[in-house]
Amino acid sequence: MLDCLRSVEENHNALPVEIWVVDNASTDGSVAAVQSSFPEVHVIANDTNLGFARANNQALAQAGGDILVLLNPDTVVRPGAFVALEQAFESDATIGVVGPQLLNPDGSIQPSYGRFASAWTEFLFQTFLYKVIPSPFPLGAVIHKLQRRQYNNIHEVDWVTGACLAIRREVIERIGLMDEAFFMYGEDMEWCWRARQAGYKVYFQPDAQVVHYSRQASRRDYRAWITRYTSGQLRFISLTRPHKSKILFGLWICLGSLLRIVLWTGLKWLKPNQMDEAQQRIAGYSEAFILGWQAVWGKPV
């Protein structure tokens, strides 16, 4: 987190900034470290983990400024990023949301935007075909070679990831804050959906670059990650797609979860050093199967 805050202070290029940090009950001394190293930063320290959407909403409701930027603590802002984001907004008054080009720690481009989730994108994911066929949904940490050219130009997209997302205040005033029923994963996509439904454009700006040490915290708890991700995708589908799409989406989740349970059960015995991860994943995919099955039978998410 300290590296993230340091990069913000060093690279806001004289643009007026107000920085808020929301701590979701961390136990590593983050709050004290921020208050000591960055006394000018506004800190909200929660007693429990409220989830991504609710925690960000706490700061969004109190922060000033016409442009608000969500930024994960596992990111480092590169020089000129904030200026490039501002320039995107200035180029078109109808642009309501802008996302930067996210980079992996090794400098390679990280997937950071995509088309809205659908039964087709879920089919590609659950069958592993996204590793072969370019997926319109950002899956994994590597961009398909046929999609790399798209990441060189500023262009309109369906949604951008909340790891770093800039939004006009007027958009929030019109569509509201993020949906707190999403604990983590999917809330950024649904927020962009509402922005587009209200007539605003969502843009990807490659001239703004942010390094993202993706999923390092969430991947330590594979069971929670799988369950929360599946729940978030299903909620998005339930809110935005026809009922038959939700049923098909749920079926793909069931089939994909069963496939992964079989694969990880075999791997558990073939590679004992991965026993803990395998057990967590098996538990997570078992819960994902239940969520998918409930979706097939029309139960609310």
Per-residue pLDDT of the chain (301 residues; tens, 9 = 90+): 899 999 998 988 778 889 999 999 888 888 999 899 989 999 999 999 999 999 999 999 999 999 999 999 999 999 999 999 999 999 999 999 999 999 999 988 999 999 999 999 999 999 999 888 888 887 766 787 888 888 999 999 999 999 999 999 999 999 999 999 999 899 999 999 999 999 999 999 999 999 998 655 455 789 999 999 999 999 999 999 999 999 999 999 999 999 999 999 998 888 777 888 999 999 999 999 999 999 998 877 6
Q: What is the pTM of this model?
A: 0.92
Domain end point (choices 216, 240, 256): 216
For residue 301, being part of any structural domain is answered with no
Distances (CA, A) of 91 to 2, 47, 191, 265, 291: 32, 41, 22, 52, 43
Domain end point (choices 181, 197, 216): 216
pLDDT for the residue 206? 96
Domain end point (choices 216, 231, 254): 216
**What is the rounded distance in angstroms from the CA atom of residue 158 to the CA atom of residue 290?**
29
**What is the rounded distance in angstroms from the CA atom of residue 247 to the CA atom of residue 234?**
10
The range of the structural domain enclosing residue 98 comes to 2-216
Task: Tell me, yes or no, whether 279 and 154 share the same domain.
Answer: no
Task: Tell me, yes or no, whether 212 and 271 share the same domain.
Answer: no
CATH number assigned to the domain comprising residue 207: 3.90.550.10
- Report how many domains make up the chain: 2
Q: For helices 243-270 and 275-296, what crossing angle results, to 10°? A: 160
Task: Tell me, yes or no, whether 31 and 171 share the same domain.
Answer: yes
Task: Tell me, yes or no, whether 175 and 250 share the same domain.
Answer: no
pLDDT for the residue 54? 95
Task: Tell me, yes or no, whether 111 and 230 share the same domain.
Answer: no
User: What single string gives the DSSP state of each residue in 220-264?
Assistant: GSHHHHHHHHHHHHHHHHHHHS-HHHHHHHHHHHHHHHHHHHHHH
**What is the rounded distance in angstroms from the CA atom of residue 38 to the CA atom of residue 295?**
46
